[in-house]
Structure formats: structure tokens, C-alpha cells
Amino acid sequence: MQFELDRRRPGQSRITTPRKETDTCTILSGVSNGLTLGTPIAVNVPNTDQRGGDYSEMSVAYRPSHADATYDFKYGVRAVQGGGRSSARETIGRVAAGAVAKKVLQKISGTEVLAFVSRVHGVELPDGAVDFDKLTLEQVESNIVRCPDPIVAEKMIEAIDKVRVKGDSVGGVVTCIARNVPRGLGSPVFDKLEAELAKALMSLPATKGFEVGSGFSGTLLTGSEHNDEFFVDEDGSVRTRTNRSGGIQGGISNGETIVLRVAFKPTSTITKSQKTVTRDKQETELRARGRHDPCVVPRAVPMVEAMVALVLVDHLLQQYAQCQLFPVDPILQAAPVTKESEPTPV
Amino acid sequence: MQFELDRRRPGQSRITTPRKETDTCTILSGVSNGLTLGTPIAVNVPNTDQRGGDYSEMSVAYRPSHADATYDFKYGVRAVQGGGRSSARETIGRVAAGAVAKKVLQKISGTEVLAFVSRVHGVELPDGAVDFDKLTLEQVESNIVRCPDPIVAEKMIEAIDKVRVKGDSVGGVVTCIARNVPRGLGSPVFDKLEAELAKALMSLPATKGFEVGSGFSGTLLTGSEHNDEFFVDEDGSVRTRTNRSGGIQGGISNGETIVLRVAFKPTSTITKSQKTVTRDKQETELRARGRHDPCVVPRAVPMVEAMVALVLVDHLLQQYAQCQLFPVDPILQAAPVTKESEPTPV
Amino acid sequence: MQFELDRRRPGQSRITTPRKETDTCTILSGVSNGLTLGTPIAVNVPNTDQRGGDYSEMSVAYRPSHADATYDFKYGVRAVQGGGRSSARETIGRVAAGAVAKKVLQKISGTEVLAFVSRVHGVELPDGAVDFDKLTLEQVESNIVRCPDPIVAEKMIEAIDKVRVKGDSVGGVVTCIARNVPRGLGSPVFDKLEAELAKALMSLPATKGFEVGSGFSGTLLTGSEHNDEFFVDEDGSVRTRTNRSGGIQGGISNGETIVLRVAFKPTSTITKSQKTVTRDKQETELRARGRHDPCVVPRAVPMVEAMVALVLVDHLLQQYAQCQLFPVDPILQAAPVTKESEPTPV
Amino acid sequence: MQFELDRRRPGQSRITTPRKETDTCTILSGVSNGLTLGTPIAVNVPNTDQRGGDYSEMSVAYRPSHADATYDFKYGVRAVQGGGRSSARETIGRVAAGAVAKKVLQKISGTEVLAFVSRVHGVELPDGAVDFDKLTLEQVESNIVRCPDPIVAEKMIEAIDKVRVKGDSVGGVVTCIARNVPRGLGSPVFDKLEAELAKALMSLPATKGFEVGSGFSGTLLTGSEHNDEFFVDEDGSVRTRTNRSGGIQGGISNGETIVLRVAFKPTSTITKSQKTVTRDKQETELRARGRHDPCVVPRAVPMVEAMVALVLVDHLLQQYAQCQLFPVDPILQAAPVTKESEPTPV
């Protein structure tokens, strides 16, 4: 859990917010002698480096494109220190829970969830640059921007540095894969696996888009180009040669690697001067102080992994409830794909 | 309700499946003398033109990229006639419920939900071609592809005709707007309005991507370019000059027009021959008969509207529960924006 | 399913409403060739013998202690034919679903759910008169009041006949047992098994009370008298010698027979004249016509069984989700008690 | 909140457990300057007087009729200190949340929730001894057993003292009323108000029975005796002369006082020697040490109030969502009954 929180914490490198937080976690309940007890697991992660003064201007005027205006519209209150309810600090809870979910997935089905930065502003990792079957956590963690290609990573860092020194920000894209996902997770209508993943990921702060498999670019193909043809592999499993479906067909996982992409907008809090209005409707200019991320995607990588892991573990539990009472024909329900699998080009 | 079902029904034009269904709906319960009774509204829409024989090959082999393989993996059963559980016929229920939701929105807050086709294969409606404040249902319904620009619509129809005659299919994009959405709908963390919309829309068959506001292209901007600056309009409302947020900030609606886009892949059932495997794991070729849509997006338009309307009405109810008990300062909570509003460029 | 619906249907004997309904069910979806398909099971049970005219007086005045006043207070509409939303006809759906749940329980864990009438007005089946380990469905169904003791049953029928001829009604108690319930069903805090059962049963029309195990009379004992002491039976299972807990301890089933009791008030619709008010607040007298049950408990027996079966099957699914991922030590988690068990006196 | 926690805390009098806890609460989030912020309210109440050693015997053998056996059957773990997950200490959270719920009810609809002890072992407060319209919190709090009748209270205290000195325990009944509940709360089928209350109350530790209005004794009446006749009061409200319904008809509140009763069994942990088995299935005797309540009902009073308040506030929110969008005819939907109301005999 601490490892994952360290990947998320502020101040981890020069391209994140300079605010220093150790984000040290303490487990208060639910675990004893290294085992969960069946009771809720409560985790405490105190704040240490928050400067209330940084938020003084913002307590008067709304930050453009930030949640503090809409929060006020809805609830009629403001609690701006640290961003209030809309602070990305709430993602600590997601990452902590995701650490537990990853462990369950690893143990039950050998499922691995791995995300990385595939775009920062105009710098994009080309399609096919990453071999989804061989990608490792070490490759992702080998640089501060969390892009597994060291040359592209260097360009991304440059792009962030360029806006950072101006007090501006940039957006980017995080790609996430899940390998060895058992077949059959999901649901055929409203709770499709892609729908649940979309909700989970679009609930992260600053997200503007979600794709699974071929995504928006899949609309440029014809059906005969897009369809993933089936074959029987040497182990007797029904597999697909391509994976434009992104591991999910009709709301249900098919055993191929799940592939998805999430768009994050540029951080809204910037130190450049912007026009805005105050709570009592006076037009004004705001130049935010505070210490904010010039680009959120490097820190978003563990958040994306956490949300994907939480959705998958939920569906794994549902699968046991729904389909393990009367186990289906073992010929159909292949065991989770745990072997070294063939590369499946997207 | 029947009007919306007619927009969805098969056989409505040459660019949809030639299968003829009238999709005539009968309300069985929940409504009396033109008023709802507080009881569930049951609607019956019988099938009339389904040819079981069309599905005979498919009962043996799995259709590539179709849900019938994953459904079998999960449940160990096949019920292929009409596509079984995975038939897009289930969207009748969504469209019927959406018709009720639209009526509630119209009555309570003057909210209008309107979708249109913005891309078919390579043919795209340019950004800014549609004035979101003036778009009408009549413009959308003025042609069989449901694109409000008649010249682009013609090109889209040509693109569909081209693959239709070959038995192939193409994908596309549906854009949806919601005008006069009250401020304050949504939730700040897990149930963000954009997250709920993403789930609702990614639960539609054949979807591969979702965007709100600036979407994936927003990642190409800097924060100072992307932020929507605030101003006070002549009515004393806090508004934004631009709308890259797409009407939602931090999970909560801000009163601007909600704008979102959904990517639909090319229909998987095509009459071209494709490699696949049978249920007992023999490799084979499949050339689907049956009568399928060469492009789903014209019929997807009412489905997208329905899902958006259902999410909005859910959140309108929640808003009454959460925030009307102790109404907030009326200065903050502006009435729903019901006036003729300024154009807000995306 | 039809067998269960026949146990519930009106007109089955002289002590139920004389309204004749065959309540013939047709399965519309979800089942094919005798197997469920993983899709929702829709069942149609049309009304045949409903006389709208019977409800004419009631359309003006509220029936005392009936839901039609509160329904109108809440929704502002009345739909009185057949009792409207508050008609006990809605219990058809419960009984039909319960028939499926019973089949699942029987197949998965050998669990049997069996209810019977234990009190009608002042006529009560004495404690201990029924051996919970030997009770059969045949004994329950051997008479029209559904009390397994033929002598007490006769007295109950007399009590009902006595009020029936006067157009009045009486209440009663239904006792329900569930045998061979696997250990471990339930949850330790908010969703305790007894809490879920209480909600399910108190959602049946006309219920006023719920007890599990020793119930209200357990308050008359001391802890040393009430506690169920443990022993190890010849199969090596941890069992209790008594069963004042009613098969549930701390929200979780312990493998002993679940025992619960439900109080049903006298039917509110009677043909005796009563004081009431009209919708426009005029005081009046009402003498209901219509054909109503002089005592609901004989027909409530299958409803009680259905609700218990539905709760148990829900918890069986949850148990598979929560506790079968990492199966617990088999020494602790004994198999469901499927053997002929020792009598466990309450 | 602290006032309510003080009513629940251990060591408050000689008839509760002698374990001393101050149960001092600290609000960690969600409140600022005396106002809620729309964010979750986190409350911390640390343990101070827990003696691990008291639980040493119990870590080996299961306590009869206690949840520690079933918890172990389900999860395969034991965490016995303080009773583990099954400790009634979890009710602190219920009482703290209930304090907030009570404040909302008071403010929105003038609703008051008040409980008291109506039976301890064989000592029962007679029907009609308490005037439900005049009962005050002061009367309830005027003695350590929380029975508003001082003479009966004295007998109850004696009954508890009698078993206390022997290390044994007794059960009892808590009656709860809710005054000025708005009409229309609840739902007509599965989520009936009485069903939700039943679940909430049967989720409290040690409960064995639940009644609303006439309860089990209502089965002894005929319909003509049991029905609550309507009249129009001087304010023009539709009211009932009697209240055997207990303020709820057909799942929906009718504006009369809600009346319910909850049975609590004798505390299972006693210091008398009892037969039991160890985790490894050896038969043994257990004489619990530790400091336990000889009777839980005095401390259960605030718990019962809290659960009732939480259910009512949930339904108040739902009512705003469902029925305030299109407000119903004001003639029908009387304002919450906030006036000094007529006595309504049960």
C-alpha cells in the first residue's frame, strides 16, 4: 500500500507539485497478523505540508474550470483549503484500496494491472511502441513521467518543464492494460465491464475522455477490418488474433488483455492571471498561488491502475456469486489465461 | 414514446437494417388518464419480423467481435436467435424510458437533450459547424443519417451506401448536447455527473469511447488555453465565456450546455466471410446471413439521448433530496438557465 | 412455479376470498429447454375475475386501515380497482420468484423452506406441537388453513368461518422454518441475516410483527437459560443442543434450523359499516363490497416461504462472492448440514 | 452528538457493564463553523478501558449464543478482543449518525424520536401507562433504566440487580415513538416504511423481535376492532381516532405517531459456567471473565432512537426526490403535523 501511495504522493519529482507530503499510511482496523479479518480496513494518511495561506485569494474568487464554483453552486458552502472536497487528495483512498484489490487479483487469477503515460501535450507514444505482453512495472517506473519508452519520456519531461516554469500546465493521456483477466467478468446490459470501467475512470479528477480497445479511431475502420477473428490456440483455448475489442466483447471479458485510455485535461489551477468572478459576483482577476502540478498524468498512473483493479475485483466477486454456484461446462469456461501469452497486436 | 421508438426502429430507411419492425408500444401499467400513478410503467413492444432461420449458421460458430462468444463463456448457454441477450433490441427499453425522462426534464427544468451524428467512417462534421444554442430536432431529423448539416449528411449516407452494398459496415460518432441543465446536478467524488454519463453511454451496444467537453483533444491545450473564464451575465448569473468543460466541472453541472461524444464501432455482424471457431473448437469460416445495420449511428441517436435524459433525471431527483431540504442561498443557486442563452463556443 | 401460485391464488377454498382466479403463469423470457439463460425471467399472470364495480364506493371514501389513503397522501392519485398498487396481487411476483429461489436452494445446498399457520385469532398451535425436523409439505397442505396439526386446523377453520359469515375478518401468525441452511450466510453488522429476513417479511402486506428464535418470549429468560450450549456431534460438526437463537447468531447462520414467526393483522377490507372520510374531506360511512379474505394467513404461507427463500438465495450468492475466493479452513466451514439431524427443541 | 453517546456509553450506572469508557467524540471532517459542508462527517471515538486479558479464555472456546462462533465459521478468523467485529461497540457509529439525523428531522419537519424501556425480564410497563403525546426525554432520562414510570423503573432495576450479582443477565423490550412524522414517507411494496424500520432495528445486536402498532397482539382482534377509523380534525386534516396501525398504513406514514417495539434477548456473555467447544472441537466449560452488561436495554434506548431517526431521514430525502418535483394537491398532502396533537390511544 505504501509503495502505491509513494507513486501518487506530491513532491515526488520536479514535474509534480513541489508540495512535500510523505503520505505515510497507518492501518487502523481490519488486518491482524498479516491477514484481513473480514472487517472494514481503515487507513489513516495525515496531511503534513499544507499552507492555508496559499488559498487566501481563492477563498474570494472562483478558480476557472475548477470544481470550487460548482461545489458552491450545489452546497452553498466553500471550504477551499487544499481544494476542499474537490482536492485530488481524495485519490489517496482510491490508491490505498487499489493496493488491496491488486493483491486479491494477483492471488486469485494472476491478473496484473499496469498503466503508463502515453501522451503529454503534443508528445505521444506511437501505437505499437509498447509490447503489452512484456511491459513491466520497472519500465514504467524507470523515469519520473512514467512512460516506458525512455526517449519519448525525455520529450514528455521537456514538455512539462516548458510550461512549469511559466506557471502554466498541460494535459495528457494514460493507457492502462490488465493481463490475465479471467473470461466472463462483466454483465450483458447496463453493467457492461467497459461501462463500469468508464465510470470508475471518469470519476477521477480532471478526466475528459475514455476509450477501450480501438476507441475513437475504431470508427475509421470497416467491420471486416475491425472484427477480431477467433482461433484455437495450442492449449485449446478460444482466442482472438487481434484485440481491437480491448479484451471485452458485449460487456464481458474474453480473456485477452484489457486495454483502455484516459484523457486528463491540463490542471486548472495555474499561476497565470485569469479573469473570474467573486462569490458576490464582482468580476476580478485571479493569479493562484499555491503549489500545483504542471501536469497530472505522472501521478495519475497509480490512480488509473487502482480504479481498474477495484472494478475487476468487484466483478470477480460477482462472477463467483453468479456463475460458480452451477459451474459451467469446463470446456467453455477456460481457466484464467495465466500462461505466457502470444502478442496480440491492437 | 412512440415517436422516439420510431426513431430507433429497424427498417426506417435504406441505411438501416432492412428488417421491418413497427415496434408499436402498449403501456400495460402505471399510467391512467394521461397521468403516472406512482407505480412502475410497463411497456410491451412485440417482435414481428424475426426470421429464426437467419441465425442457423451463427448457432454453431461464434460471430467475431460479437457478444455471443463471451456470453457463452460466462453463462454456458447460447440463445442466438435475434442475438439473444446481446441483441440491440434491448435498447427499446432504454428509448421508451428515455421518452418519459425527457418529458420530466422538459416540465421541471426546461432541459432539452438533443443528439446527432457527427462522424461516419472518415466523414466528419467540422467543429463549430453546429450552433449548440440553435440546433433543433427538426434539423437532426431532416435526413436519414441524422446529421444536421445537409451537405455532410449526404456524404455520410454515401459512405454508408458504399459498405452496405458490399455487406460490410462502418462506425461513427454521435454528439449529444443538453441545454438548460440546472446547476448543481452531480456529485463531487465517485458519482461525478461525467462518470455517470460515461457509464450510461458505454453501456450502449458497440460503444468504444466517450468524451465530455474538450475530450481527448483537450490534452493538446495548456491550462491557460483550456480554462473557462467566468463572467457575470446581464441577468446576474455566473457564467463561463467558453465551454471546454462541457457543462460539468468537478462532477457537478455548472449551468452551461452539456456536450459529449460517443464512439460506435462498425457493426460486427457482416456478410463478408470471416475466420472463426465453433462452440466445440473447430476452426471454420462464417458468412452471416440475417439483416443487419451497415452503420448503427443513425439509430443510436435516440438511444444516446435516452441515456443522457435518464442520467439527468436521476440526478435531478437526487438534487431535490440532497439540496432542497435546506435550500441554499438563492444568490448562489441561480434558477435553471431557461432564457435564450449566449452562444458558448467549444 | 404454478404449484406455488396455486397455493396463493384467490378462491382456493371457502376460507379465502371467493374471487376466482386461476393465476395461470406463462414464462415470457429467460428460460429455454428447461434451463435458465442468464437473462431476466419474465412471467405473465393475467387477471380474469376482477369486477370493477365492486370498487365504486371505495373510489370515493378511504377504507380504514387500508393503504389507499396513504397512497393518495403520497402520490396524489387514486387507482382503486383491485386495490391499486396496494393490492396483495403484487405478491404473485414474490411467489413466482420464490419458486425459482427454492429450486436453487434445493439444488445447491439441500435447503428446504417450509411455513405453516401457527395461530388464527385466539386459536394457537402450542409450542412443541410441530417437530421441525420432520415437518413435511404434505402435512401443511393437508387442510385448507395450512396448519400441520389436524385438530388445531379444524378449530382455526371454525374461527375463520365465524367471522366470515359476518363479513368481518381475523388475523393470525405464520411460522416458517428453513432446514439445512449452510453456515456462514449473513453479515455481521447492518445486513444481519435476521435483519434482511425482517425487512423481507415486514414488506408483505398486513404484517405487524416479526420474531426469530425465542422472539419476544426470549426476554422472559435469563442468559443462562437462553444461551444455546455447543457440542460436537458424531459427524464432528459444532452444533448447539437448543436453538433459541433460531439458527442465526450475530447476523450469521450457524447451521441449525432457522425459525421465524410473522404476525398478520385482520384484513382491513370488511363488509361491516365503518366511519371514514371521503377524498374531499366529508365524513361518511363505508360498507365495502368486493370479495375479500376473511383471514389472510392460509394464503400468506407461500408468500412467507417465498420471501425467506429469496433472502437465503441472495445470501448464498454473496457467500460465494465473499468467502469462496479464498476458501476457509474446511475444519471450520462444515459442509451444509444435509443429514437427518437431531431434533433441536426451541 | 456527545449527549447521545453518553446515553450509550459503558459504565454509566451500576446496571450497565462496569467497564469505564468516556466515549469522547471528535469530528474529523465534514463540519466547519457549525455547518455541514456536504462532505462525509468522520467521527473518532477512541477506546480507553479495554483489558485484553479478559478475553483470554474466550480466544480458545466459543461463547454460547455469541457471534464469535458464526463469525469464525464464515470468515475463518477470530479477533476476540472486545468481541471483535461483533462487539456492540460498533453501535457508537449508529448513535453518532443518529444524532445528526435527529437534528435534521427536528429542523425540517419537527419530527421527534423518543424511546424507552417497556419491559425488563418479567417486569412490564402496562399498555396505556405512557401518554405518547406528552412523553418527554426528561422522563425517560429520569432513572438509570430509562423507563418513564418511576415505580416500574424501580422494579426493573431490582430485576437487573438480582441477576447482576449472580453474573447472569436478563432481556427486555424497548418501545420507540416518532411524533410529527410527515405523511407520505415510505414506499408501497418492497421498501415499506415498516420493513425498513424492521431491518434497521433487527440489525442491532441481541434483537429477537420487532412489532409495529398492534404487533402480535393485533392478531387477537377482528378487522372491525382493529381498523383505525378516519375523521377530519379541526384543522381539516384527515386523521385516525385510534392508532393500531402504528402510524404506517401500507408501507407509508399517515401522519399519526409511529409506534414500534423491539425485543432484546439476555446478554449472552455471562460469568456462569457453560458447556461449549473449542475451536479445535474439544468439549469444554467456559466461565467468561470480562465486564458485561447484565441487561442491554437501558443502553439500547439511544441505539433504537438512532436507527429510527436514520430510517426516517432517509425516507424524508426520498420523499423530496420523488414527490416534490411535481408537488401533489395541497389539500391531500397536509403539512407535517406540527401542532400539539390529540392523544391517539393504541
Could you read off the pLDDT of B302-337 as tens digits, one per residue?
A: 999 999 999 999 999 999 888 876 655 444 443 333
CA nearest neighbour of D346 among D135, D191, D123:
D135
Q: Which chains touch B (3 or more CB pairs under 8 A)?
A: A, C, D
Angle between helices B91-109 and B297-323 (to 10 degrees): 50
Which is it for the CA torsion B27, B33, B35, B39, positive or negative? negative
Q: Judge whether residue A344 has pLDDT over 80.
A: no
Residue C130, burial from CB neighbour count under 10 angstroms (0-12, 13-18, 19+): buried
Residue B290's pLDDT is what?
66
- For residue A38, the chain C residues in CB contact (below 8 A) are 188
- CA dist., res. C11 & res. C19, Å (int): 5
Please identify among residues 57-116 of chain B the ones whose CB lies closer than 8 Å to any CB of chain C: 71, 74-75, 77, 79, 84-85
Cell of B164: 452496405
User: Where are the alpha helices (H) located in D10-167, listed in sequence order?
Assistant: 67-75, 91-109, 137-141, 150-164
CA nearest neighbour of B232 among A73, A71, A58, A279:
A279
Which is it for the CA torsion B231, B234, B236, B239, positive or negative? negative
CA dihedral C70, C75, C76, C79 (to 10 degrees): -80
Q: Judge whether residue A332 has pLDDT over 60.
A: no
Q: Count how many pairs of residues, chain A against chain C, have C-beta atoms within 8 Å.
A: 31
* HEC assignment per residue over B129-195: CCCCCCCCHHHHHCCCCCCCCHHHHHHHHHHHHHHHCCCCCECEEEEEEEECCCCCCECCCCCCHHH
Q: Judge whether residue B343 has pLDDT over 90.
A: no
CA nearest neighbour of D268 among D69, D18, D26:
D69
Q: Collect all residues with Cβ–Cβ distance below 8 Å to A99 and sequence separation of at least 6.
A: A1, A3, A4, A5, A306
Could you read off the pLDDT of D230-242 as tens digits, one per residue?
A: 999 998 999 999 9
Nearest residue of chain C to residue D121 (CA atoms): C220
- CA dist., res. B250 & res. A85, Å (int): 10
- CA dist., res. C16 & res. C294, Å (int): 6
Single-letter residue type at C20: K
Q: Collect all residues with Cβ–Cβ distance below 8 Å to B123 and sequence separation of at least 6.
A: B152, B155, B156, B159
- Tell me the average pLDDT of chain B: 88
Q: Judge whether residue A81 has pLDDT over 80.
A: no
CA nearest neighbour of D175 among D228, D226, D134, D120:
D120
Q: How confident is the model at residue B110 (pLDDT cuts 50, 70, 90)?
A: very high
Are A218 and B257 spatial neighbours (Cβ–Cβ below 8 Å)? no
Are C228 and D65 spatial neighbours (Cβ–Cβ below 8 Å)? yes
Could you read off the pLDDT of B211-257 as tens digits, one per residue?
A: 999 999 999 999 999 999 999 999 899 999 999 999 999 999 999 99
Does the domain at C53-323 match CATH 3.60.150.10? Answer given as yes
Which percentage of chain C shows pLDDT scores above 70?
88
Single-letter residue type at A104: V
Could you read off the pLDDT of B117-171 as tens digits, one per residue?
A: 999 999 999 988 999 999 999 999 999 999 999 999 999 999 999 999 999 999 9
* A197-211: burial string, b at 16+ Cβ within 10 Å, e else: bbbbbbbbbbbbbbb
- CA dist., res. D328 & res. D334, Å (int): 10
Range scoring the smallest mean pLDDT among A110-114, B76-80, B284-288, D47-51: D47-51
Single-letter residue type at A99: A
Q: Judge whether residue C216 has pLDDT over 60.
A: yes
Return the H-helix or E-strand segment holding D238. Answer: strand D238-240
C220: contact with A, CB 8 A cutoff: no
The minimum CA-CA distance between B33 and chain A, rounded to whole Å, is: 32
CA atoms within 13 Å, Cβ hemisphere of C97: 17
Cell of B297: 449511428
Residue A190's pLDDT is what?
96
- CA dist., res. C16 & res. B104, Å (int): 42
DSSP assignments along A257-287, one per residue = PEEEEEEEPPPS--SS-EEEEBTTS-EEEE-
C317: contact with A, CB 8 A cutoff: yes
Of C38, C108, C188, the CB nearest to A325: C108
Q: Judge whether residue B112 has pLDDT over 80.
A: yes
Average pLDDT of the residues in A301-305: 98
Residue C49's pLDDT is what?
66
| Most confident option among A41-50, C8-17, D236-245 | D236-245
Q: Judge whether residue D246 has pLDDT over 90.
A: yes
Are A209 and B215 spatial neighbours (Cβ–Cβ below 8 Å)? yes
B280 secondary structure, DSSP code:
T
Average pLDDT of the residues in A176-198: 96
E strands present in A82-165:
112-120, 123-124
Which is it for the CA torsion C217, C218, C221, C225, positive or negative? positive
Indicate the class that CATH gives domain B2-323. alpha beta
Q: Judge whether residue B57 has pLDDT over 70.
A: no
Which of C17, C58, C60, C65 would best serve as a mutation to test chain D binding (most D beta carbons within 10 A)?
Answer: C65
C132: contact with B, CB 8 A cutoff: no
Range scoring the smallest mean pLDDT among A33-37, C20-24, C106-110, C196-200: A33-37
Which percentage of chain D shows pLDDT scores above 70?
88
DSSP assignments along A6-23, one per residue = HHH-TTSSTTS-S-----
Q: How confident is the model at residue C51 (pLDDT cuts 50, 70, 90)?
A: low
Residue A307's pLDDT is what?
98
Angle at B288 between CA B285 and CA B292, to 5 degrees: 150
Residue D253's pLDDT is what?
97
- Tell me the average pLDDT of chain D: 88
Residue C53's pLDDT is what?
56
Of A107, A324, A326, the CB nearest to C324: A324
- Entry field: residues in chain A: 346
Nearest residue of chain C to residue B86 (CA atoms): C39
Nearest residue of chain A to residue D90 (CA atoms): A39
Return the H-helix or E-strand segment holding A43. Answer: strand A42-44
Of C275, C279, C332, the CB nearest to D72: C332
Q: How confident is the model at residue A34 (pLDDT cuts 50, 70, 90)?
A: confident
User: What residue segments make up the domains of chain B, in order of their start?
Assistant: 2-323
Q: State whether residue B323 is helix, strand or coil.
A: helix
- For residue D74, the chain A residues in CB contact (below 8 A) are 38
Return the H-helix or E-strand segment holding C119. Answer: strand C112-120
Average pLDDT of the residues in B25-33: 89
Q: How confident is the model at residue C54 (pLDDT cuts 50, 70, 90)?
A: low
Are B92 and B5 spatial neighbours (Cβ–Cβ below 8 Å)? yes
Cell of B112: 432539452
Unique residue bearing C-alpha cell 388453513: C145
Residue D292's pLDDT is what?
83
Residue A48's pLDDT is what?
79
Nearest residue of chain C to residue D224 (CA atoms): C168
- For residue A324, the chain C residues in CB contact (below 8 A) are 320, 324
Q: Which chains touch A (3 or more CB pairs under 8 A)?
A: B, C, D
- CA dist., res. A335 & res. A275, Å (int): 58
Q: How confident is the model at residue C184 (pLDDT cuts 50, 70, 90)?
A: very high
Could you read off the pLDDT of C307-332 as tens digits, one per residue?
A: 999 999 999 999 988 887 665 544 44
Could you read off the pLDDT of D114-162 as tens digits, one per residue?
A: 999 999 999 999 988 999 999 999 999 999 999 999 999 999 999 999 9
Residue A58's pLDDT is what?
63
Q: How confident is the model at residue B41 (pLDDT cuts 50, 70, 90)?
A: very high
C36: contact with A, CB 8 A cutoff: no
Range scoring the smallest mean pLDDT among B231-240, B284-293, C128-137, D96-105: B284-293
Q: Judge whether residue D345 has pLDDT over 80.
A: no
B47: contact with C, CB 8 A cutoff: no
Are D184 and D242 spatial neighbours (Cβ–Cβ below 8 Å)? no
- Tell me the average pLDDT of chain C: 88
Residue A78's pLDDT is what?
77
The minimum CA-CA distance between D95 and chain C, rounded to whole Å, is: 14
B341 secondary structure, DSSP code:
P
The minimum CA-CA distance between B61 and chain C, rounded to whole Å, is: 18
Please identify among residues 186-205 of chain B the ones whose CB lies closer than 8 Å to any CB of chain A: 186, 188-192, 194-203, 205
DSSP assignments along A177-191, one per residue = EEESPPTT-B-SSTT
Are C293 and C169 spatial neighbours (Cβ–Cβ below 8 Å)? yes
Please identify among residues 243-262 of chain C the ones whose CB lies closer than 8 Å to any CB of chain B: none
Unique residue bearing C-alpha cell 498524468: A297
Please identify among residues 170-189 of chain A the ones whose CB lies closer than 8 Å to any CB of chain C: 188
Phi, psi (deg, nearest 5) at residue A285: -115, 145
CA atoms within 13 Å, Cβ hemisphere of D291: 15
- Entry field: residues in chain C: 346
Could you read off the pLDDT of A89-132 as tens digits, one per residue?
A: 899 999 999 999 999 999 989 999 999 999 999 999 998 899 99
Are D108 and D320 spatial neighbours (Cβ–Cβ below 8 Å)? no
Strands A258-264, A172-179: pairing kind: antiparallel
Cell of B241: 465565456
Unique residue bearing C-alpha cell 437467419: B54
- CA dist., res. D259 & res. D244, Å (int): 9
Of C220, C226, C230, the CB nearest to D277: C230
Single-letter residue type at D55: Y
Average pLDDT of the residues in D305-324: 93
Q: How confident is the model at residue B19 (pLDDT cuts 50, 70, 90)?
A: confident
Average pLDDT of the residues in C136-165: 97
Average pLDDT of the residues in D22-42: 89
Residue C323's pLDDT is what?
83
Cell of B52: 429464426
- CA dist., res. D238 & res. D230, Å (int): 7
Residue D114's pLDDT is what?
98
Which of B31, B33, B50, B75 would best serve as a mutation to test chain C binding (most C beta carbons within 10 A)?
Answer: B75
Q: Count how many pairs of residues, chain C against chain D, have C-beta atoms within 8 Å.
A: 371
Residue A54's pLDDT is what?
55
Could you read off the pLDDT of C234-264 as tens digits, one per residue?
A: 989 999 999 999 999 999 999 999 999 999 9
Average pLDDT of the residues in B257-264: 98
Residue B53's pLDDT is what?
56
Residue A29's pLDDT is what?
87
Residue A75's pLDDT is what?
87
Residue D48's pLDDT is what?
79
Strands D112-120, C112-120: pairing kind: unpaired
Q: Judge whether residue A318 has pLDDT over 70.
A: yes
* C268-293: burial string, b at 16+ Cβ within 10 Å, e else: bbbbbebebbbbeeeeeebebebbbb
Centroid of chain to Cα A185: 19
Angle at B304 between CA B177 and CA B255, to 5 degrees: 30
Residue D322's pLDDT is what?
85
- CA dist., res. C323 & res. C253, Å (int): 14
Residue C288's pLDDT is what?
77
Residue D55's pLDDT is what?
58
